[in-house]
Amino acid sequence: LFGRPWIFIRGVPSMNFLPPEGPPEIAFAGRSNVGKSSLINALVAHKGLARTSNTPGRTQELNYFVPDGFSGEADDLPPMALVDMPGYGYAQAPKENVDAWTKLVFDYLRGRATLKRVYVLIDSRHGIKKNDDEVLSLLDKAAISYQIVLTKTDKIKDPAVPKLMAETLEKIKKHPAAFPEVLATSSEKASGLDELRRAIEVAITQ
């Protein structure tokens, strides 16, 4: 699936604009600027498919991406959708916009029956912050399966990566909905991507 071209199909500014529930959805959550959009581009090997920026607050809607070649008719649905989300935490945007998209993210995470797995991205340099913990607790409460992905591992020293993976795993052990394996990626260096692709392919069958 990841070998083929992917396309953008829909930007969702509020819950009313969600597509009808259909294929399994895999969502990418995390603080603003953690690298959600970059990771989607790296996974599907398409630079510029999801828009990225140095400025936190780039992604402001739920953006749906699917493999190309499916009509979307009931008998020809794509096998999954990747959902890029706005970030939480600090963003360079008007407060009312940030409040609106934060609500959208939380409503979507709590209330989407076809949401199969959330990848919660954590910046390797910063680790799990308070607002990450709030999202993890929300997912635990809603019983939505999620997995932690460390991002931007090219920004830390190589030997620090396994140590950080182990520490992070230790921290999430108390979380009932957390998948008991932490992944480490760099979109810049294209590392850890195959492991994540495989995990996604398994997640959509569960």
**Please, which residue, 36 or 171, has the CB nearer to ligand GTP?**
36
The binder of 32, among ligand GTP, Mg ion, none, by C-beta within 5 to 8 A per type, is ligand GTP
- What span, in angstroms and rounded, lies between the C-alpha atoms of 57 and 39? 16
Task: By CB under 6 A, name the one of 6, 23, 29, 36 that touches ligand GTP.
Answer: 36
**Residue 186 within binding range of ligand GTP, rule CB under 6 A:** yes
**Please, which residue, 27 or 165, has the CB nearer to Mg ion?**
27
Using DSSP, state whether 23 is helix, strand or coil: coil
> Please, which of residues 41-80 interact with ligand GTP by CB under 6 A?
52-54, 56-59
Q: CA dihedral in degrees (14, 17, 20, 23; nearest 10)?
A: -60
Stretch in the footprint of Mg ion (CB under 5 A) among 13-21, 33-41, 65-73, 176-184: 33-41
Which residues have CB under 8 Å from 113's CB, separation 6+? Answer: 21
**Residue 97 within binding range of ligand GTP, rule CB under 6 A:** no
**CB-CB contact of 30 with 56 (8 Å):** no
- What span, in angstroms and rounded, lies between the C-alpha atoms of 99 and 37? 20
**Residue 124 within binding range of ligand GTP, rule CB under 6 A:** no
Give the bridge partners for 147, in sequence order: 119
The binder of 187, among ligand GTP, Mg ion, none, by C-beta within 5 to 8 A per type, is ligand GTP
- What span, in angstroms and rounded, lies between the C-alpha atoms of 194 and 196? 5
Task: By CB under 5 A, name the one of 28, 34, 59, 82 that touches Mg ion.
Answer: 59
**Please, which residue, 30 or 67, has the CB nearer to ligand GTP?**
30
First to last CA, the chain: 17
Binding site residues, ligand GTP, CB under 6 A: 30, 32-38, 52-54, 56-59, 86-87, 151-152, 154-155, 186-188
